[in-house]
Amino acid sequence: MKFGKEFAVQMVQEWQEAYMDYIKLKSMLKDILIYFKQQNQPQSTMAAAATTTGKMKRRASLYRAFSGLTNRYKPVSSTKSHEDEVILVQEGGVEGLYQTMFLRSGEEGGEFELLFFRRLDDEFNKVLRFYKKKIEEVTVEADELSKQMNALIALRIKVDNPVVGGADMVHLSDHDISSHSSSVAHPIHGAKHGRTPMDAIQELEMNSEGISGEEMKKADNKHFRPAPLKVLDHVKINVELETPISILRSVIKSSKSDLSFGRQELRTAEEKISQAFVEFHRKLRLLKSYCFLNQLAFSKIMKKYDKVTTRNASRTYMQMVDKSYLGSSVEVTKLLEKVEETYVKHFANGNHRKGMKSLRPRAKKERHRITFLYGFFSGCSIALIVAIIVSIHARNILKSQGRERYMVNIFPLYSLFGYIVLHMLMCAGNIYFWKRYRINFPFIFGFKQGTELGYREVLLLSSGLSLLALAGVISHLDMDLDPRTNSFRTLTELIPMFLLIVVLSITFCPLNIIYRSSRFFLIRCAFHCVCAPLYKVTLPDFFLADQLTSQVQAIRCLEFYICYYGWGNFRERSNTCGESEVYNVLYIVVAIIPYWIRFLQCVRRLLEEKDTAHGLNGLKCLSTIVAVVTRAIYQHQVEKTTTWLVLAAATSGIATMASLYWDIVRDWGLLNRNSTNPWLRDKLALPHKGVYYAAMVLNCVLRLAWMQQVLGIQTVPFLHKNALVAVVASLEIVRRGIWNFFRLENEHLNNVGKYRAFKSVPLPFYYDYNGDKNI
């Protein structure tokens, strides 16, 4: 693999604009090479290529005239004059930026090389500024983690070694510890005396072990102090409202942060700080990788420059890179060592392997058996589909008298699995293309590193489920569908119920099998959706709620399961669900539930974030609810009236227009009039713009699929009513799958624009600075 491709793969995608633009610099070197080749060609060939290089020459002459390369800066490289000296690198200015003086600009083609070094300096200064900014951020975060560890260790002592009265404080004051609380609580100030911000964490480690008086004196000489218990007098616990009960209590009572410390608070604090350390360690590793990759990129591009121009400038330039802050800083390495040492000691009981396994999770390996199994299951599923089609045509089942009873009673039962399988197939496709175009979906969804499912795993699950469902379908087709048959085998009629029980059992199985972490993640998000707005709304929660709005027909199938097996005569393959008023009312209610969940989520986000866009999104959900209600009422009328038809069409039209606008403009970020890409957006992940235009058109067409049901148009006469409903529901699932890709692409590009590459981990302790200036 060439370095350019490897460089693009290894970079942090959310930071890609902060990396050195290797492709641009490489293209400039290609222009220089072309120019040199043209100089060696005959005059006629050079005249033919003059038009191609004219624009490049004009740009180079402008850079030469206004390059600003003067001697007012102090050179970083050696000032000794050598005949083969090509460049001098200078450092100066308020921000300490670097500029390269090209000493051969008067030679033929020197303008192009001058242009190259100007762009090279811009890229290096961009990388240097970003790296310094990130170092400042991790330094501040290290200071905060030091104070959090200070409070955590003090809390451990208080919980694990309770004392009566002030005995514990007396024990600590014997070692003259309390007077040094300031240096522990603010380790950042200790850096002025030659200590890094995380040195204070090492001081805190001494408090968790039994330390003799002589050892304590040695520690005092090294400026290490254990954490004083009096720190807890100025610390409150940030209790995040994580359950509906805690939220309801907070409405009635005051905040829990002023309660006494206990073992539950200790457990919560340990989990949060441990998670913060893991995320902070990952940030440091990626920052170290950023530094290394950029240095390697500058080295590669300078070697390529030497090769193209047959000069010897790479050594001088790379000496400057090595002496710069980018090449000489050791803050990240020291912080990594401190974080690993602290985490292993305090969160892994000194087990280095266990601690490093949490800090550095291994990349998930691709297993050939997964590929084999989903290929095998898919082949079997295709064979069953062919067998079903052959059976239907051979026995002329479509014209059988039992066709109506089968479509009314059995088809809705199996269509549930069809909706689920189709949605999983769309999900697998999304994951494949997200990975191909380097969209960081594990970070966006908040998956724990190494636990996210790949498209192969999703295909395995979907093909396995389709195999079971199709086996059940063909078992029903083997039975005689003629109404003259008076007896049916009860076991065969219960196959759909057995399949549903198996799916639910696997989903809620507590054993660590069949991707337990992913199943529990799905269950947790679904529970948050059901309990909306009592939970803080995160992207996985409202993303799942959006998926449910496209699975309305699947939810109605679950309602039919309850009616058919609970109150229907499934032994005789008949039901009276459509005649029940309760069933018809619930038929409308279950269609409203997903949109109502989204509405409540929008209200919660509006109250928390004070963003009017969430209020508008909530109004869009309300318009959809009104449209669903009027449409359902019209469909269930015995004698359909024109009034309800007009209401259903009008409300559905308004809801569709609002949804189309929100899909394309707000969720996808497209139809931007002032974009550099006409009617799209400035940043695109896909190389072909036509895909975006096709997706917008297809989204509009599929959004209008409901009009067939509203207007009562039977566009496919040979299809049963339930089959047509299934087709329309499947089209909506396909539309949602397309929406998923562009929705996450837009979210990823927003993160890239704001350099958001890490989760924000809430810390458990809050220091009350108003209470004591020393804390």
| pLDDT, tens only, 26-46 | 999 998 888 878 776 654 444
Which of 135-139, 224-228, 270-274 has the weakest average pLDDT?
224-228
Model pLDDT, residue 364: 72
Indicate whether 62 pLDDT > 60: no
Same domain flag for 379 and 293: no
Q: What is the pLDDT of residue 464?
A: 96
693 plus 735 within the same structural domain: yes
Q: For residue 353, what are the contacts with CB-CB under 8 A and spacing of at least 6?
A: none
Query: Of 299, 328, 359, at which residue does a domain stop?
Result: 359
Query: Alpha-carbon Rg of the chain, whole angstroms?
Result: 33
Of the pLDDT bands very low, low, confident and very high (cuts 50, 70, 90), residue 365 is confident
The CA angle 61-65-70, to the nearest 5 degrees, is 135
- Alpha carbon distance 608, 532 (integer Å): 14
Q: Do 304 and 413 sit in the same domain of this protein?
A: no
CB 198, CB 142: distance < 8 Å: yes
Domain enclosing residue 293, as ranges = 3-134+283-359
pLDDT at 449: 78
Within-domain flag for 175:
no
Q: Which of 340, 359, 378 is the last residue of a domain?
A: 359
pLDDT confidence of residue 386: 95
User: CB–CB of 437/511 below 8 Å?
Assistant: no
Average pLDDT, stretch 160-173? Answer: 40
Token pair 């000069």: residue: 311
DSSP string covering 713-742: --S-TTS-HHHHHHHHHHHHHHHHHHHHHH
pLDDT digits (tens, 9 = 90+) for 478-518: 665 555 544 566 778 899 999 999 999 999 999 999 999 99
What pLDDT, in 10s, does the model give residues 443-486? 999 888 778 999 999 999 999 999 999 999 988 876 655 555 44
Angle between helices 642-661 and 612-635 (to 10 degrees): 150
Res 261: pLDDT: 65
Please report the pLDDT score of residue 542 as a whole number: 94
Measured CA angle at 129 (ends 125, 133), to 5 deg: 170
Q: Is residue 97 classed as helix, strand or coil in its secondary structure?
A: strand
Alpha-carbon distance of 243 to 220, in angstroms, equals 45
Residue 436 half-sphere exposure toward CB, CA atoms < 13 A: 10
Distance linking the first and last C-alpha atoms of the chain: 53
Average pLDDT over residues 543-558: 95
pLDDT (0 to 100) of residue 95? 66
* 238 occurs within a structural domain: no
329 lies in the same domain as 403? no
Task: Write out the two tokens for 427.
Answer: 């999900």
Place of tokens 């290490």: 224
Q: What is the pLDDT of residue 194?
A: 41
Looking at residue 36, what is its pLDDT?
A: 79
pLDDT for the residue 458: 96
Q: Is the pLDDT of residue 760 over 80?
A: no
> Do 424 and 458 touch, CB atoms closer than 8 A?
yes
- The pLDDT tens digits for 274-307 are 999 999 999 999 999 999 999 999 999 999 999 9
Helix (H) or strand (E) holding 102: strand 97-102
Is residue 73 predicted with pLDDT exceeding 70? no
The answer to whether residue 632 sits within a structural domain is yes
CA–CA gap between residue 493 and residue 481 (Å, rounded): 13
Instruction: Choose the most confident range, by mean pLDDT, from 36-40, 165-169, 256-260, 547-551.
Output: 547-551
**C-alpha count within 13 angstroms, C-beta hemisphere, residue 124:** 29
321 and 436 both lie in a single domain: no
- Per-residue pLDDT tens for 693-752? 999 999 999 988 766 655 555 556 677 888 988 999 999 999 999 999 999 999 999 887
Closest Cα partner for 31 from 129, 152, 147, 113?
113
Residue 523 has pLDDT above 70, yes or no: yes
| CA within 13 Å, CB half, 762 | 9
Q: What is the pLDDT of residue 84?
A: 59
pLDDT at 561 over 80: yes
**What local confidence, expressed as pLDDT, does residue 258 receive?**
44
| Domain membership flag for residue 392 | yes
Residues 6 or more apart whose CB falls under 8 angstroms from that of 121 comprise 97, 98, 99, 100
Furthest CA-CA distance within the chain = 107
Residue 53 predicted with pLDDT over 60: no
Same domain, 435 and 321: no
CA atoms within 13 A on the CB side of 265: 24
| Residue 203 or residue 568, greater confidence | 568
pLDDT higher than 60, residue 217: no
What pLDDT, on a 0 to 100 scale, did the predictor assign at position 720?
Answer: 84
Q: Which residues pair with 91 in a beta bridge?
A: 74, 98
Distances (CA, A) of 57 to 60, 113, 204, 617: 5, 11, 63, 52
What pLDDT, in 10s, does the model give residues 317-340? 999 999 999 999 999 999 999 999
Integer Cα distance of 378 and 376 in angstroms: 5
Q: Is the pLDDT of residue 203 over 60?
A: no
pLDDT category at 521 given cuts 50, 70, 90 is very high
Under 8 Å between Cβ of 131 and 325: yes
Q: 75-83, long-range: CB within 8 Å, 24+ apart, which pairs?
A: 75/101, 76/319, 76/320, 76/323, 77/316, 77/319, 77/320
Percent of the chain predicted with pLDDT > 90: 41
Q: What is d(CA 204, CA 199) in angstroms, rounded to the nearest whole number?
A: 9
What's the pLDDT at 358?
Answer: 87
Residue 135 scores a pLDDT above 90: yes
Q: 361 or 733: which carries more pLDDT confidence?
A: 733
Give residue 240's pLDDT band: very low, low, confident or very high (50, 70, 90): low
Query: Rounded to an integer, what distance in angstroms lies between the CA atom of residue 458 and that of residue 531?
Result: 27
- Total Cβ atoms within 10 A of residue 293: 19
Q: Using CA atoms, how far apart are residues 722 and 706, in angstroms rounded to an integer?
A: 14
The yes-or-no verdict on residue 266 having pLDDT over 90 is no
Whether residues 337 and 388 share a domain: the answer is: no
Long-range contacts of 60-69 (CB under 8 A, 24+ apart): 60/111, 60/112, 60/114, 60/115, 61/111, 63/111, 63/114, 63/115, 63/118, 64/105, 64/110, 64/111, 64/114, 64/115, 67/114, 67/118, 68/99, 69/99, 69/100, 69/101, 69/102
Residues 84 and 20 in one domain: yes
Position 201 confidence tier, pLDDT thresholds 50, 70, 90: very low
Predicted pLDDT at 732: 93
Asked whether residue 247 is domain-assigned, the answer is no
pLDDT of residue 619: 96
- Return d(Cα 756, Cα 444) in angstroms, integer: 10
Which residue from 356, 278, 311, 257 is spatially nearest to 107, judged by alpha carbons?
Answer: 311
Let me know: does 542 contact 601? Beta carbons within 8 Å: yes
Q: What is the dihedral of CA 409, 411, 412, 414, to 10 degrees?
A: 120
Strand order in the sheet with 97-102: 74-75, 87-92, 97-102
Is 295 contained in some domain?
yes
Distance (Å) of CA 593 to CA 297, 659, 702: 53, 17, 22
Average pLDDT over residues 187-213: 41
User: Do 439 and 535 belong to one domain?
Assistant: yes
> Three-state secondary structure along 201-251?
HHHHHHHHCCCCHHHHHHHHHCCCCCCCHHHHHHEEECCCCCCHHHHHHHH
Residues 297 and 20: beta-carbon distance below 8 Å: yes
- What are the pLDDT digits (tens) for 607-666? 999 999 999 999 999 999 999 888 888 877 777 788 888 898 899 889 999 999 999 999
Do 551 and 600 belong to one domain?
yes
The answer, yes or no, to whether residue 379 has pLDDT greater than 90, is yes
- Domains in the chain, number: 2
Q: Hey, how many other C-beta atoms are within 10 angstroms of the C-beta on 644?
A: 15
Which pLDDT score, from 0 to 100, does residue 161 have?
A: 66
**Residue 177, Cβ density class (10 Å: 0-12 exposed, 13-18 middle, ≥19 buried):** buried
CA 45 vs. chain centroid, Å, equals 53
Nearest of 185, 122, 174, 121 to residue 150 by alpha carbon:
185
Decide if pLDDT at 130 tops 60.
yes
In a domain, 128, yes or no: yes
> Which two tokens mark 334?
């020291």
Residue 117 domain-assigned (yes or no): yes
Look-up of token digits 């040195």: 199
Same domain, 421 and 351: no
671: helix, strand or coil = coil
Which is it for strands 765-767 and 97-102: parallel, antiparallel or unpaired? Answer: unpaired
Q: Is the pLDDT of residue 775 over 80?
A: no
Averaged pLDDT of the chain: 80
pLDDT attached to residue 246: 62
Contacts of 243 (CB under 8 A, 6+ apart): 534
Whole-angstrom distance, CA of residue 303 vs CA of residue 295: 12
Q: What percentage of residues in the chain have a pLDDT greater than 70?
A: 77
Q: Are residues 388 and 443 in the same domain?
A: yes
How far CA 464 is from CA of 515, 548, 661, in Å, comes to: 14, 22, 37
pTM metric for this prediction: 0.81
